[in-house]
Chains A and B, each alone.
Chain A
Amino acid sequence: MADGHEHVSCQAVVELVTDYLEQALPPHEAALVEQHINFCEGCDWYVDQMRRTVATVGRIEEGHVPPETRDMLLAAFREWRRS
């Protein structure tokens, strides 16, 4: 994941964002991600959007999803797994 001795690229941040937000990265890697976020406005926005999405979607329970929306999501994920 490293771009050079101790740096991460924007692409690496995108790849690591889930583990970062779930606090699953080793501390050294998390620190490198945060150093990148600190100077990269695009990645800062991206990570913040992901954080907000997780916070919002995490509050939705299955019963809150209308049946037609549920069917559309399931179809989309099935198609995504085939592609």
Chain B
Amino acid sequence: MIAYKFLRSDGTSPFTRFAWPVPRGEPGDWLEAPIAPCRSGIHACRARDLPLWVGRALYEAELDGEIVEEPTKVVASRARLVRRIDAWNDNARDAYTRMCADRAHELAVGASPVLKDWDAVIEPSIREGPALLGFVAARIAEARSGVEAYHAERARQTAWLVERLGLEPS
């Protein structure tokens, strides 16, 4: 199974700080770990999970062995990083952040009454990066129209990422 993995700039996991064997002209080494979601196993994203886990560097990952699909992630007993997705660069991160900010304004101002408190946090949040702006846009959608709108906004963000980065939709 092909999935995706966000890492920090130094190739470490954002949560465990594990240093991944990153691809250097050829795929990185295989890793193995028994599966226990959120505790053990190799965690990765399907395309639809990407907005929830947006990070600094994005890699394509090959999953193997036992694979468990969770609501917001996929966990495998064996995986390796195949390639870095170079299209997820500073320009793409900035464009995605701006897209989410514009969408958040549109949703907040279009609400009746206007979601002023939410609208006020959008621009100051931009310096915090794309993960926060994606969350802000989706939460404004939820505040305006309920939880289905939250998920719809996340799906919209996924579509943007899939198209911009040339990924396979999940």
Q: Which residues of A contact B (CB under 8 A)?
A: 4-7, 23, 25, 27-28, 30-31, 34-35, 37-41, 44, 48, 51
| Neighbouring A residues of B142 by C-beta, 8 Å | 4-5
Question: Would you call the interface of chain B mostly helix, strand, loop, or mixed?
Answer: loop
Q: Which residues of B contact A (CB under 8 A)?
A: 14-15, 17, 37-39, 52-55, 70-73, 128-129, 131-132, 134-135, 139, 142, 147, 150
Partner of A31, one of B14, B17, B73: B73
Q: How far is the CA of A38 from the CA of B133 in the complex (A)?
A: 12
B150, chain A: closest CB distance, angstroms:
7
Question: Is B139 a contact partner of A27 (Cβ separation < 8 A)?
Answer: no
| Neighbouring A residues of B37 by C-beta, 8 Å | 27, 31
Q: How far is the CA of A38 from the CA of B89 in the complex (A)?
A: 18
Question: Is A27 a contact partner of B128 (Cβ separation < 8 A)?
Answer: no
Name B146's closest neighbour in chain A (CB-CB). A5
Partner of B70, one of A6, A27, A37: A27
